[in-house]
Amino acid sequence: MPSITSPRRRSPSAQLHQQASLASERTRREKRLYEASLGGCVESLAQLLQEDRLILARASVTCFDETPLHVACMLGHLPFAKALLAHKRDLAMELDSQGRTPLHLASANGYGEIARELLQSDPLACLVHDEDGRTPLHLATMKGQINIVIELVKVRPEAAEHRLSLGQTTLHLGVRHNRLETLKVLVEMVRDGDLVNAQDDEGNTILHLAVANKQTEIVKYLLQRSEVDVNTVNRNGFSALDIVEHFPNDFKVIELRELLVHARAPRAIRFPASTTHQAVVDKTNEENSTITVDLAFVAPLSTDTPPAEVAPPPSLVGEIRKQEEDKHKIEKRHDSLMIAATVIAAMAYQAGLNPPGGVWDDDKEVNGTIVYYAGTSIMAANYPDRYPKFWKYNTVSFLASLSTIFLLMSGLPKGKKVLTWILMATMWVTITFMALTYLESMVAILYAGQYPEDVMQIARVVRTSTYVWISIVAIVFLVHTIRFLAFVLRNVKNPRKLKKQISGCR
């Protein structure tokens, strides 16, 4: 019988070499797959599938943090995403290193067509929470992606009810990030009064949050909705009107108070002397920034103690009109100060370069010695006792006018009377020293080295007129100083009012 020979067995080293070659080839293909996903190249994907039909099956266990579908959804490569889903639909539920599905990334970036394809592959993807507890609807709401929000709520309306770790609903996120249009879409599509009035872990509804963040347009919209409950109080016992009542008065606060009173919002508590509360607003918003509201921590109201009756304040139309008129007057006064300071600065600058009497045209020699150099002041030579005064007065006037211009251009809040008083005081100094500069200039020009009686009379008139003017300015300055000190004393006696004034200046 012929002998049967066993197949030739490979050595262990050859087997290891072959396995290493296969692993190296797979790594190269995986790298090519991710390069294709970065470029959105469908042809490269087709070629890789021909070379290795299991390459997509291994995509979730590679060394990369995201699958190729995650990359395509981040970059908006719709054809590539379609091709991936056509070959492996369960990629739509794969998670990256932060627990996000491809739908999370498409929703945050606003790629509506890709989001639609992912929802068709697996609608449950819109209910998946990432490591921060956020669903794709949460991300779309935060970014204001209205088209994505519509698609997600259409497929899974219950996604709007999912809460974050602090009990915030999707509507809370819409208010916090100041997404009015997105909030409108959510409220219209969900139509659930319980969701609109849902409270977070601190008991705040979306109305509480909008009022605390001074979001006037959102408050207007919410008060137009019949399902919004203006009577809800948070865990500290604050209603929406309670929150706005403790803000320092400004135009937004007055408008918010008027809106809430018109909507018959009640006051739930009476405020104590000092309070603390903090409301955080997304800094990326167009009009908002982080706001700290000075509301004190108050123990929750007892269930046996009914809220105080609604006591709407009188109409605030007159107060609003008065504040608008005051603001207009202050703005006009600032414009006048800017013009006056600019003119005086130009005058002082010109007087410094070309003092009264002019400058020497040529060097003046006496016995072969140069006594006066060309370009030096004639007034300094003829009136050595008066020229230093002229120079000091003119310098003070010039620097004071420049200080006024700087304060007006430095972005200080124009609506504050204290700052306006400081500007006025600076201008009084400017005008006073400009008058003294004029006095020294006129005396130098009138004397001209001679002292006839008529010239002396004119000089006395100029000097007397200047001193009278300075006295009038000093009296007005004294009156305003007394008024300012009285204002300070009144606020010192009322610490709460003083605190509001300081916070307003800030």
pLDDT digits (tens, 9 = 90+) for 469-506: 778 877 877 887 787 777 667 666 655 555 555 554 44
Output the CA torsion 346→348→353→357 (10° steps).
120
- Rounded Cα distance between 17 and 224, Å, is 74
What are the angstrom distances between the C-alpha of 184 and each of 110, 170, 219, 290, 492? Answer: 18, 12, 12, 23, 46
Q: Above 70 in pLDDT, residue 177?
A: yes
DSSP E strands in 310-444: the ranges are 364-366, 369-372
Asked whether 304 and 252 are in contact (CB, 8 A), the reply is: no
Q: Whose CA is closest to 202, among 248, 164, 253?
A: 164
3-state SS, residue 244: helix
Between helices 78-87 and 112-121, what is the axis angle to 10°? 10
Q: CA 109, CA 148: separation in Å to the nearest integer? A: 9
Query: Domain map of the chain by residue range?
Result: 21-162, 191-296, 319-505
Residue 6 vs residue 348, higher pLDDT:
348
Exposure of 285 by Cβ count < 10 A (0-12 exposed, 13-18 middle, 19+ buried)? Answer: middle
Which residues are 369's β-sheet partners? 366
Most confident of 46-50, 118-122, 409-413, 422-426: 118-122
Q: What is the mean pLDDT of residues 161-177?
A: 90
Residue-wise pLDDT for 53-81, tens only, equals 777 877 766 667 788 888 889 898 999 89
Domains 21-162 and 191-296 share a fold: yes
**β-sheet bridge partners, residue 243:** none
Q: What is the helix (H) or strand (E) element at residue 169, kind and residue range? A: none
Whole-number Å distance between alpha carbons of 433 and 470 = 9
CB count, 10 Å around CB of 379? 21
Residues in CB range of 324: below 8 A, 6 or more apart: none
Which range is least confidently modeled, 105-109, 289-293, 451-455? 289-293
What's the pLDDT band for 325 if we cut at 50, 70, 90?
low
Res. 323 pLDDT band, cuts 50 70 90: low
CATH class of 21-162: mainly alpha
Contact of 285 with 177, CB cutoff 8 Å: yes
Catalogue the E-assigned strands of 301-395.
Answer: 364-366, 369-372
Helix H or strand E encompassing 108: helix 102-109
**Arithmetic mean of pLDDT over the chain:** 75
Q: Which two tokens stand for residue 476?
A: 């007005």
Mean pLDDT of 289-318: 39
The neighbouring-strand residues paired with 372 are: 364
Domain 191-296 sits in CATH at 1.25.40.20
